[in-house]
Amino acid sequence: MKNSFSKRLGKLQNNYAELIERENEPVENGNGVFDRYKYPILTAMHTPLYWRYDLNAATNPFLMERFGINAAFNAGAMKWKDKYILAVRVEGADRKSFFAIAESPNGIDHFTFWDYPISMPGTGEPETNIYDMRLVNHEDGWIYGIFCTERRDPNAPEGDQSSAIAQCGIARTKDLIKWERLPNLVTPSPQQRNVVLHPEFVDGKYAFYTRPQDSFIEAGSGGGIGFGLSNSIINAVIEKEIVIDKRVYHTVYELKNGLGPAPIKTKYGWLHMSHGVRNTAAGLRYVCYLFMTDLNDLTKEIYKPGGYFIAPEGDELIGDVSNVLFSNGWIADDDGKIFIYYATSDSRMHVATSTLDKLLDYVMNTPADGLNSSASVSTLNQIINNNRQFIENKTHAHTVENSSL
């Protein structure tokens, strides 16, 4: 039995080492806007063996998993002490999520989890699940974790064990290990999910991007991505929400939308990445799209390309909740490189890389959604005509050059 235990443990350790040490590589022939990478950067199997297994042969002679991990996804991100840091949503086999920090030296592979998950303090109000943390390095000097906190709806009948209430949880830290829990955000909306803290003060106040919704699943009267100000972060209260990016019929964000990570400040405006949801015969489809708001007026949208920026492809389409791509973390390096961290099908984490120049070009020069088929054809015809004219002019110039030789 002892030899069998040691042999199995050796295989587990070797497989784990191979997974962590595997180098990632970009996928060729992309769309020119960003580069996907071949391998997921985090999965359930990336969690340490000493989380999942009791490694003592006396108490676990068959070396069984004692704490099953189902998924690692929806991670917030930041650069910290020259490491690429992800605050990962780790989901156990029991469906309960918790947060854990993983780090990488280069942002694309060799991600390893810290020894312990985050022990997130409560607020006194019972909560069943916490998930989808946005990491924000605020100008007030604190690192904030903004996340969703969920509990069963106390008003639901006993036979309904799926109705829930979601609110925005707030915590802050100086070292990503010890966290101070603050009271949940208060807004005029019945429920909140996908709330993001703006990284700078606005008129001396804390600014939040919200997603007002009537129930746990349905946005209902919630018109899209909201924006509001709070005088304090200790007891954050938004008295008025303004919708800055609304839901629109027959778009990729017709059913629901919400901000992903905190926006990136550029010389042209604030660059935002959001998720959009539409309903299909096969269920909900989640994609991400970009837009930009004015530097001085965060409620003024100045650029918004039509359609999605990134959507699930290939194996990304398959998982616990298929056809889902979700991002709540990105990192802008000082050299202009952008690391986009996204999860697929509520199962695993990936990375795509781009540059600030590419993303600005994409956002500012990609045609907006004309909101009907006729407008789409008109946009396409304009691109075709421009290209035909360019090709004809180039061909003519080449012919004249050859005839003069």
**Predicted pLDDT at 198:** 98
Q: Residues 121, 172: contact at Cβ < 8 Å?
A: no
Per cent of the chain over pLDDT 70 is: 97
Residue type, 76: G
**Of all helices (H) and strands (E), which one includes residue 79?**
strand 69-80
pLDDT exceeds 80 at position 9: yes
Q: Residues 130-153, buried b or exposed e (16+ Cβ, 10 A)? A: bbbbbbbebeeeebbbbbbbbebb
Whether 28 has a pLDDT exceeding 70, the answer reads: yes
Question: Residue 1: is its pLDDT beyond 90?
Answer: no
Q: How far apart are CA 257 and CA 102, in angstroms?
A: 27
Q: Is 295 left (phi over 0), alpha (psi -120 to 50) or beta?
A: alpha
Confidence of residue 264 (pLDDT cuts 50, 70, 90): very high
Residue 217 has pLDDT above 90, yes or no: no
Region at 209 (left for phi over 0; alpha for psi -120 to 50; beta for the rest): beta
Residue 216 predicted with pLDDT over 70:
no
* Secondary structure (3-state) at 108: coil
Q: What is the per-residue pLDDT for 213? A: 78
How much is the pLDDT for 308? 98
Least confident of 36-50, 152-166, 257-271: 152-166
Instruction: Please report which confidence band the pLDDT of residue 362 belongs to, taking 50, 70 and 90 as the band edges.
Output: very high
Which residue do the tokens 């986009």 mark? 340
Contacts of 218 (CB under 8 A, 6+ apart): none
78: pLDDT strictly greater than 80? yes
Distances (CA, A) of 22 to 1, 77, 101, 125, 342: 32, 21, 19, 43, 19
pLDDT value of position 132? 98
Average pLDDT over residues 349-376: 98
Amino acid 401: pLDDT: 72
pLDDT of residue 290: 98
Q: Which pLDDT does position 405 carry in this prediction?
A: 62
The three-state (H, E, C) secondary structure of 272-290, written as one string = EEEEEEEEECCEEEEEEEE
Does the pLDDT of residue 221 top 70, yes or no?
Answer: no
Residue 99 has pLDDT above 90, yes or no: yes
